[in-house]
Amino acid sequence: MNPNELELNYPLGDALPAPGTTREVAPGVRWLRMALPFALDHINLWLLRDRQANVEGWTVVDCGISNDATRTAWEQIFAEQLEWLPVLRVIVTHMHPDHIGLAHWLTERWNCRLWISATDFGMARLSSQSTTGFGGERSAAFFASHGLTDPEALAKVRARSNYYAGMVPRVPDAYRRLTDGLAVEIGGRRWRCIVGYGHAPEHMALHCEDLGVLISGDMVLPRISTNVSVHDVEPEADSLALFLASLRHFDALPAETLVLPSHGKPFTGLHTRTRQLHQHHDERLAEVRTACAERPCHAADLLPVLFKRKLDLHQTTFAIGESIAHLHALWHAGELEREADADGVWRFRAV
Ligand SMILES: [Zn+2]
């Protein structure tokens, strides 16, 4: 356990729900886990006991990626964990493949509606039909313009043009819109949507005051810091400033709130965790400030400064996105200026 994690509490202990099973974490709230084929080896999904127009059933929150293993695990959940009741609705916190991947299958399987923010619905539809944002030629050119020169790494990014569509082959044709502050009634309880920017286009966390429970999605995770990147589709984005401002939305929630994150274990210590995240990024920003005061730097220059460990190719692409996000935060704040060299590579220097 890292020192930051010791400041959090895991009131449910270490017992994880086994594949195909669920664990009740609050009245009417069940936790399940699905495997992922990444370094991040699992995602947490949630089942909320629901009732709509006098029909008893469940709301599913997040879906898992689209593959046979996840579908099989869901079938086991349906057969053994739903008390023979139907799924009435699918809520998706944001557009990333592990969250929205099987939304098309779940909503067709149960003839029910997808609920998601408009921005993430649109971006998921676009990304599942194109190479926008997560790999391919434009992505490689974008990383190159931030100093990535390793031909092997660039070739890998180029080859990844099907990255998103491979895990999200389809997105439902229609949806119901979630907006910041919207109260969604689920099983007679109100769950309020809390918007978050910087990790995904328009991420929705869900807070139930009655239960003292926050479904935090990827905005607040107990062990790892949320990925905050700049992508080629929005090359001047100020993702980090958006993310840090979004964390403030959780300040108003009660300190004892039980946080249900998409990765890791349910925990308490929400305000401690958001403070740790602010501190983590403040420290990274200070390092970027110092480096750019010494000499103009591009995002790839800063990888050893920010990450201090050997990165594999996959980690390198994530890390460059994070590095750009930190440079952009200082650039948009007026602390750095940027200039492209003859090769079109952006370098940032202190103003
Ligand atoms: Zn995510």
Segment 73-84, tens digit of pLDDT: 999 999 999 999
Give residue 314's pLDDT.
Answer: 78
Gap from CA of 64 to ligand 1 centroid (Å)? 11
Gap from CA of 166 to ligand 1 centroid (Å)? 16
Average pLDDT, the chain: 94
Gap from CA of 76 to ligand 1 centroid (Å)? 25
Q: What is the dihedral of CA 70, 73, 75, 81, to 10 degrees?
A: -140
Token code pair at residue 161: 């043009």
Gap from CA of 96 to ligand 1 centroid (Å)? 5
Report the pLDDT averaged over residues 235-257.
98
Q: For residue 190, give the DSSP letter.
A: E
Lowest mean per-residue pLDDT among 105-114, 232-241, 255-264, 309-318? 309-318
> Is residue 256 very low, low, confident or very high in pLDDT (cuts 50, 70, 90)?
very high
Q: What is the dihedral of CA 139, 145, 147, 149, to 10 degrees?
A: 60
pLDDT tens, position by position, 108-142: 999 999 999 999 999 999 999 876 557 788 999 99
Give residue 3's pLDDT.
Answer: 82
Token code pair at residue 205: 């966390």
Give residue 131's pLDDT.
Answer: 60
Lowest mean per-residue pLDDT among 125-139, 238-252, 282-296? 125-139
Express as a percent the part of the chain with pLDDT over 70. Answer: 99
Gap from CA of 227 to ligand 1 centroid (Å)? 8
Express as a percent the part of the chain with pLDDT over 90. Answer: 83
Gap from CA of 50 to ligand 1 centroid (Å)? 25
Report the pLDDT averaged over residues 269-284.
98
Gap from CA of 93 to ligand 1 centroid (Å)? 9
Gap from CA of 163 to ligand 1 centroid (Å)? 15
Gap from CA of 95 to ligand 1 centroid (Å)? 7
Give residue 133's pLDDT.
Answer: 52
pLDDT tens, position by position, 28-52: 999 999 988 776 789 999 999 999 9
Report the pLDDT averaged over residues 263-284.
97
Give the integer Cα–Cα distance in Å for 127 and 287.
34
Give residue 132's pLDDT.
Answer: 55
Gap from CA of 117 to ligand 1 centroid (Å)? 14
> Is residue 64 very low, low, confident or very high in pLDDT (cuts 50, 70, 90)?
very high
Gap from CA of 199 to ligand 1 centroid (Å)? 6
Residue 184 CA neighbour count, 13 Å, CB half = 26
Lowest mean per-residue pLDDT among 64-68, 103-107, 207-211? 64-68
Gap from CA of 53 to ligand 1 centroid (Å)? 32
Gap from CA of 158 to ligand 1 centroid (Å)? 22
Token code pair at residue 121: 């619905």
